[in-house]
Structure 1
Amino acid sequence: MNKYQFFFSILFFNSYILFSQVQGVVLNNEQSPLDGVNIYISEYDLLIKTGVDGVFLISESIPNNSYLEFYKKGYQTTIIQYNYENELKIVLKKLHVELDEIGIRESISVLGSNKLLNIEQKSLSDNFISYTSLVENINQLTGVSSIGSGLGIQKIVIRGLSGLRVVTYLNGMRISNQEWANDHSIGFTDLGISKVELIKGASSLQFGGDAVGGILYFSDEPFVESTIPSGFIATKFDNSHMLFGNQFGVKMSRNNFYFKADGEYSQASDYRLPDNTYLFNSRFLNKAYKFSVAYFNDKIQSIFRYQHNSDHVGIPAHACNVDLTSVPLESLTSSSFDLNEDYKMTRPTQYINNHLFTLKSNYFSNQIKYSFFVGYFINNLQEFEKWTIPAFDMDLSTTTLRFNLDFLIKKIKINTGLQYQNQDNFNNISSRLIPDASSNDFGYYLTMDFNKNNFGFNSGVRFDYKNIHCKDFEYNTFFPSVNSSLGFFYKQNDHISRITYSSSYRAPHLSELFSDGVHHGTMRYEIGNISLDTEKSHQFDFKYQYSNDHIGFVVNPFVQFVNDFISINPVDSFYINTYRIYNYIQYDNVQLSGLEINFHYHPHLLHNLHFEQYYSFINAVNIDDDVFLAFTPSNKIKTKLYLDLENYSIPLSLNNISIYHLYSFSQDNVALYEPFSSAYNIVNVELMFNPFNKTSLLIGVNNLFNEEYVPHLSRIRDVAGGVPQPGRSFNISLKYEF
């Protein structure tokens, strides 16, 4: 024990109370104890681990029938329902092939049953040191792409749909970060986040029916049992943006109280193109902090969270009073990097401040779990084209109330509840892109899950009643809707199949209804359409999975029909000969269809080598006019080669080597006036070391061969013939845990 641990042990010794605890043990197939097994107690959002003897201790205050998830890398995840009368002896099966991110498996998920819904999960615990950004990591999932320009502006695309059709939740609260525009990022970083759950399509009825494209649910790192502070400090550098980033986190508990706090400061300059020039004004600054406080006993669990995220983001490739398609690239770049000047904010710039408050309480009584959630999210967005006066300054506030019941009727799990959401958009100055307006959404949902042996089904329904009110346009319209989902699951030996149907709706957004002006962030003149109606979607999704000790693959075809599809389309005219005009229109019938394939190979003779490959193909068509939809991502093949060296004696304790390759096909299926895009290859290499105890060191190279490429969904693809993404870059990250 070092002097700091000794100090904190003395500090809390007098107030520490030893509660009654229950002992359990985790073993492998050979009945040998397993150390370092993670045990997640979902009702408490609490993580504990086994010791070297495989033993773990849990408090007797944990409610009966709570779910415990046991997981360890290289072993099959196991979930049990806790019963104080049963012996806690868990056996984990050794796995060679893991399909955890994309496979049909047992796992505790906020969004529902992974077996019955198309839920994919991805760990984000080491995202800060292992990836250049949160979005870059999620991009590696099948069927996921991104819109952006460098690291400063990035947002998720799921199966060709993005923006308002992809709903983002953080710890139960919907993040409304002016997501209608491509220059508005996700609204938070990976700070303190443990994992993301992804549904492709609108099968998660509990969290709203308007997720036509899908839902992303981010969860914070769980609490830990520790009367002395534990946590981490981390730092990283990436020379493509001359990015310096720092994070810290600390956790502790005392009696039945738990506490977490995290902070981040990251700053980046203009990113370097493959020709060694720098894209002017692609710089950004991020500051964030968050904390959580929880109280748990055998009847009530309450968690309060607060988070603040501040972004200063430059808007690159911007020019005034010129044709953006013909402006020379040289006029948008600089030939050198100035350490004293190139971190300073210039114009145009976005200043974004987000504050998030949430309170969640669970109460257990007679095998029923009552949950109450209240959340408040306030987003302030200022966009400056000139130095003194913002082009617009808006506050968007979101208030959410949700009451939920979980209970069992024989073998059927029932989840039902009510949700209310209010949004207010308020302009702080007279200049505006969208008007002052408010919306109120009342929803009721009911889902039923049945799962026994090798068969299961899921069904659900949701009723919503949404009102949008805007005084400026004398607009007051109601949008009622009914959404539903149905899924079946079947397993036979190593073969698993699942088929799901889901319907969803999406009422038009303020930006789609009322926009009328230049949006400098997207460099276009947008014209809304007050006659837009509700968008309706029907999706069919089939997933088949097979795996054994050395090979695994998943095949996932899907088709989605969208009626009254709201689209923003370019026209053959410009505003002041600079900004292309875009109109919001509605298509009667749109079809999105595709195929996703995941392949994982683990050679018998080289157990520490893993080969993974993901294929995603999509086709998006306006059926009525027999034309392609604009902004459809290109087809992709993603390949990952992972070599685990943890059990070898290599200098600096080299832990693993990872090689990632992305091949993006050319995109020739484009809408009228939309340019084509070319194919490209990207190769990234990473080496992870553990040079000291509790220390991780990562050294990596992105875009190893310095490929010059412009993604089809790049924000600045139409400027100067297409502005390339960053060239070859080197990064180094260091993390110490205590």
Structure 2
Amino acid sequence: MKKIIIALFLGISALVQAQNTVSGIVTNLKNEPLKGVSVYVPELHKSTVTDENGAYNLTNLPQGNLKVQFVFVGFATQNKLVSSLAKTTTLHIVLEETIFQMDEVIVSTAFNKIQSQNVMKVEHESIKSLQRKGTATLIEGLATIPGVAQISTGTSIGKPVIRGLSGNRVLVYSQGVRMENQQFGDEHGLGLNDAGIESVEVIKGPASLLYGSDALGGVLYFNPEKFAEAHAFKTNFSQKYFSNTQGSNTSLGVKTSTENWKFLARGSYNTHADYSISGGDRVTNTRYNETDFKTGIGYSNATFSSVLRYNYNKLDLGIPEEGIANQTISKHTAFPKQGVFNHLLSLNTVFFFEKSKLDVDLGYIANDRSEFPETTIAGLHMKLKTVNYDVKYHLPTIGKLESIFGIQGMHQTNRNSGTEYLIPDATTTDFGVFGTINHEWKSSVLQAGLRFDNRKITTTAQGISGEEGSFQAIDKSFDSFNASLGYKTNLATNMTLRLNLASGFRAPNLAELTSNGVHEGTNRYEVGNSNLKTEQNIQTDLNLEYKNGHFEFFANGFYNHINHYIYTSPTGTVIADNAVFDYIQNNAKLYGGEIGLHFHPHPLDWLHYETSFESVTGQKQNGDYLPLIPANNWNNTLRGEFKIKNWLADGFAALTVSTTFNQKKVSGFETQSNGYTLLNLGLGGNVKLGKTAFDVSLNGNNLLDKKYIAHLSRLKTDGIPNIGRNIILGVNFNL
């Protein structure tokens, strides 16, 4: 590894050493210079800001084509492609004011377009905007995005659900590499902390063309925070307090950059007591503690750019089994509990050639997961180690035609060292090869791609055949061809249509192939099926958007057909007082969508009204409903944005009414759920007291202390309600 890093950072210096510069002036439509505009080159992780004259200067740039982003609050983002860089290139930019949110560059798709240019509809949310909603965890914030929900275990564990699909059907990417943390388990959370993450992108639908197996249902792509601008040194401190759990969230970060070198580091600590339901009773052992550390170092010159990042995450999670019993505000977890250690190391390097480039991502993930039933001796102890690679070659652009050829792969080992075995020791190997093209003409874009994948899974035999916890050795290979076709056009001024047809696949996971025992949390004896076939789906997506200066409307519809959908079915027999469930397959379909609008009335420039409705239905081929399908949801937000003299900037006040409807469309072993309405309030802004400036936020969630049970709560079967009223106070200092 040391030799590889040295080669990537220094060994390429023998290639062509161009010393190109891009400079210019950024103004508004009135030809007035704009100070503080962020000018960013993503591939080099290089940025600067405009001075009081609107001037900027980027040096030491590579040859060939280069994308430069211009981002400024209150103005539409511009993503400029600079072709055939010269020694000195002048690029003047005129930014146009906009009322709605900035048009962000989408990193999770192949060609890194801004959303208005993108063929696929991708939801982009900054972590700051999610935090303003007052959510306690990252997954709670994600669940506020239309089309996204969560399977929760109290407040500590949440698993993302995208349009009714979850677990191994949804891929999670962080630092440019896929997260692998035994995500087949409902009680296995994300293992990510929102500190040090800048934004998230949500692909709702099959993304196997870009990401291979397990992206059948969608992708969550987390973008890490950017490095500081050249010749800058920044320190940041934030603190949050949560009234319901008497919880605390502390984060401290530092970053600095020279012209070529970049460095950042951030540490955070989360601690929460048992959450209380409406009325004040606490749910025993829902407490948890989290330690997170992120760091990164980067180097770029005119030939290549390389960034090495590391994330350490430690979770100490209580497992609630007693319901509402011992009442305490202790944050020290009791038995049973989980201990999870996650290490994520990533290396991204981009090599620039005269008219093309090579983008290489390498990742190493070590997930150490233990479960302690009654003592400090682990009953379940699984160690998952994953090495993955992603190599994409961007071919020279021909006119308006862009093309990418890539290979991806993964080598993964799972080892057990506890007294219990949930899945066997195993080795998984992935290999995929793909190509995709993007062609633009006038206001239209056409994108297409083709991919082939192979996954091999081998396991070792364990235990005595026929007894609980025993596994037979298997050696399986799964192949899949997948394709995608997308079209985007402007039907009229301000009206955009997107139509996408894509296939995806998912190879059976180890639990589905090999299970033989009681699955904790489900109270079922599950029996795997080594003859399971690959899940294969085809999804059609239609997106219609209209946007003008004061009104924005969107409508998303989808139909998802899945062949060989894998699920558990009761056999009618009982082992050790637990009902036996087999893993079987059937064809299935999911359909629904999201609709919403954003209204900004003139001349009330400070007022915004946003509303959205989301719905998904999942059925098997015989008409029975699929399990774990979110209930329909309707959100309404009235938001004001304001400034008070010289002491409060970027002020906001938001009132949200979130209505979740009855869920009557349930599978055979699920219970129906009643609907509920929650009232949330948020206030905040940037406060200036003399020379001191800081961000402050005050949120009240479930203000009316409503007693409710979410349909996807894993505590629902025990009749345990979700969290009651929660007041969150947060401050953030940029030192």
Same fold (TM over 0.5): yes
Residue type of the partner of 1:723?
A: I
- Select which of 111, 121, 124 maps to 1:121: 124
Q: Which residue is 1:656 aligned to?
A: 652
- Select which of 333, 338, 346 maps to 2:325: 333
What pairs up with 1:245-260 in 2 under 5 angstroms?
Answer: 245-260=249-264
The answer (yes or no) to whether the contact 1:571–1:673 under 8 Å persists in 2 is no
Q: Which residue is 2:556 aligned to?
A: 556
Give CA deviations for 1:96-136 in whole Å, capped at 9, x if unaligned.
Answer: 234x6xxxx67342323442112221111465575322112
Query: Does residue 1:717 correspond to 2:716, yes or no?
Result: yes
Residue type of the partner of 1:423?
A: Q
Q: Which residue is 2:5 aligned to?
A: none
Closer, same or farther in 2 for the Cα pair 1:522/1:29, shift >3 Å? farther
Give CA deviations for 1:288-312 in whole Å, capped at 9, x if unaligned.
Answer: 1111010100111111111110000
Give CA deviations for 1:418-467 in whole Å, capped at 9, x if unaligned.
Answer: 11211111001342111111111110011101122201100001100111
Q: Which residue is 2:636 aligned to?
A: 639
Give CA deviations for 1:329-380 in whole Å, capped at 9, x if unaligned.
Answer: 5xx334x434xxx111211101000011111211111211112222110100
The answer (yes or no) to whether the contact 2:636–2:656 under 8 Å persists in 1 is yes
- Select which of 370, 377, 388 maps to 1:400: 388
- Select which of 406, 413, 416 maps to 1:417: 406
Shift in Å at residue 495 of structure 1? 1.1
- 1-side partners of 2:158 and 2:528: how far apart? 24
- 2-side partners of 1:283 and 1:56: how far apart? 49
Q: Which residue is 2:343 aligned to?
A: 355
Report the TM-score, using the length of structure 2 for normalisation. 0.91
- 2-side partners of 1:709 and 1:481: how far apart? 43
Shift in Å at residue 254 of structure 1? 2.7
Shift in Å at residue 606 of structure 1? 0.7
What pairs up with 1:24-423 in 2 under 5 angstroms?
Answer: 24-82=24-82, 83-84=85-86, 86-98=89-101, 107-112=105-110, 113=113, 114=115, 115-125=118-128, 127=130, 130-203=134-207, 205-316=209-320, 318=321, 332-334=324-326, 336-338=327-329, 342-407=330-395, 408-423=397-412
Query: Does residue 1:501 correspond to 2:498, yes or no?
Result: no
- 1-side partners of 2:541 and 2:597: how far apart? 19
More moved, 533-542 vs 49-58 = 49-58
Q: Which residue is 1:14 aligned to?
A: none
Closer, same or farther in 2 for the Cα pair 1:725/1:142, shift >3 Å? same
Closer, same or farther in 2 for the Cα pair 1:732/1:566, shift >3 Å? same
Closer, same or farther in 2 for the Cα pair 1:555/1:77, shift >3 Å? same
Q: Which residue is 2:623 aligned to?
A: 626
The answer (yes or no) to whether the contact 1:506–1:536 under 8 Å persists in 2 is yes
The answer (yes or no) to whether the contact 1:455–1:489 under 8 Å persists in 2 is yes
Residue type of the partner of 1:118?
A: K
- 2-side partners of 1:190 and 1:733: how far apart? 14
- 2-side partners of 1:696 and 1:515: how far apart? 50
Query: Does residue 1:704 correspond to 2:703, yes or no?
Result: yes
Give CA deviations for 1:623-658 in whole Å, capped at 9, x if unaligned.
Answer: 2x2111111110111222221012x33976681112
Give CA deviations for 1:120-176 in whole Å, capped at 9, x if unaligned.
Answer: 211114655753221122112111101112321111100000010000011121101
- Select which of 599, 602, 606 maps to 1:601: 599
Closer, same or farther in 2 for the Cα pair 1:53/1:659, shift >3 Å? farther
- 2-side partners of 1:352 and 1:509: how far apart? 20
More moved, 125-134 vs 201-210 = 125-134
- 1-side partners of 2:375 and 2:142: how far apart? 35
The answer (yes or no) to whether the contact 2:426–2:460 under 8 Å persists in 1 is yes
Instruction: Name stretches of at least 5 consecutive residues in structure 1 with no aligned partner.
Output: 1-18, 320-328
- Select which of 422, 441, 445 maps to 1:452: 441
- 1-side partners of 2:249 and 2:568: how far apart? 36
Residue type of the partner of 1:540?
A: T
More moved, 81-90 vs 213-222 = 81-90
Q: Which residue is 1:732 aligned to?
A: 729
Structural RMSD (CA): 2.0
- 1-side partners of 2:495 and 2:140: how far apart? 32
Q: Which residue is 2:525 aligned to?
A: 525
The answer (yes or no) to whether the contact 1:526–1:582 under 8 Å persists in 2 is yes
Instruction: Name stretches of at least 5 consecutive residues in structure 2 with no aligned partner.
Output: 1-18, 462-471
- 1-side partners of 2:573 and 2:696: how far apart? 52
The answer (yes or no) to whether the contact 1:69–1:108 under 8 Å persists in 2 is no
Q: Which residue is 2:9 aligned to?
A: none
Closer, same or farther in 2 for the Cα pair 1:190/1:135, shift >3 Å? same
Shift in Å at residue 545 of structure 1? 0.7
More moved, 550-559 vs 684-693 = 684-693
The answer (yes or no) to whether the contact 1:240–1:728 under 8 Å persists in 2 is yes
- 2-side partners of 1:653 and 1:550: how far apart? 22
Q: Which residue is 1:668 aligned to?
A: 664
| Structure 2 residue matching 1:278: 3-state secondary structure | coil
- 2-side partners of 1:498 and 1:418: how far apart? 27
Q: Which residue is 1:544 aligned to?
A: 544
- 2-side partners of 1:280 and 1:236: how far apart? 23
- 2-side partners of 1:259 and 1:30: how far apart? 38
| Structure 1 residue matching 2:61: 3-state secondary structure | coil
Residue type of the partner of 1:375?
A: G
| Structure 2 residue matching 1:345: 3-state secondary structure | coil
Q: Which residue is 1:443 aligned to?
A: 432
| Structure 2 residue matching 1:43: 3-state secondary structure | helix
Residue type of the partner of 1:690?
A: N
- 2-side partners of 1:204 and 1:59: how far apart? 38
The answer (yes or no) to whether the contact 2:489–2:496 under 8 Å persists in 1 is yes
Residue type of the partner of 1:310?
A: K
- 2-side partners of 1:358 and 1:232: how far apart? 24
The answer (yes or no) to whether the contact 1:149–1:725 under 8 Å persists in 2 is no
The answer (yes or no) to whether the contact 1:202–1:209 under 8 Å persists in 2 is no
More moved, 83-92 vs 637-646 = 83-92
Closer, same or farther in 2 for the Cα pair 1:582/1:389, shift >3 Å? farther
- 2-side partners of 1:583 and 1:134: how far apart? 33
Closer, same or farther in 2 for the Cα pair 1:47/1:375, shift >3 Å? same
Give CA deviations for 1:222-264 in whole Å, capped at 9, x if unaligned.
Answer: 1122435203000111011111110011110134110010101
Q: Which residue is 2:483 aligned to?
A: 484
- 2-side partners of 1:362 and 1:654: how far apart? 36
Shift in Å at residue 480 of structure 1? 0.8
Q: Which residue is 2:418 aligned to?
A: 429
Aligned length: 693
The answer (yes or no) to whether the contact 1:381–1:395 under 8 Å persists in 2 is yes
Q: Which residue is 2:466 aligned to?
A: none
- 1-side partners of 2:473 and 2:728: how far apart? 53
Shift in Å at residue 36 of structure 1? 2.7
- Select which of 423, 436, 453 maps to 1:464: 453
Q: Which residue is 2:467 aligned to?
A: none
- 2-side partners of 1:88 and 1:504: how far apart? 41
Closer, same or farther in 2 for the Cα pair 1:572/1:726, shift >3 Å? farther
Closer, same or farther in 2 for the Cα pair 1:66/1:289, shift >3 Å? same
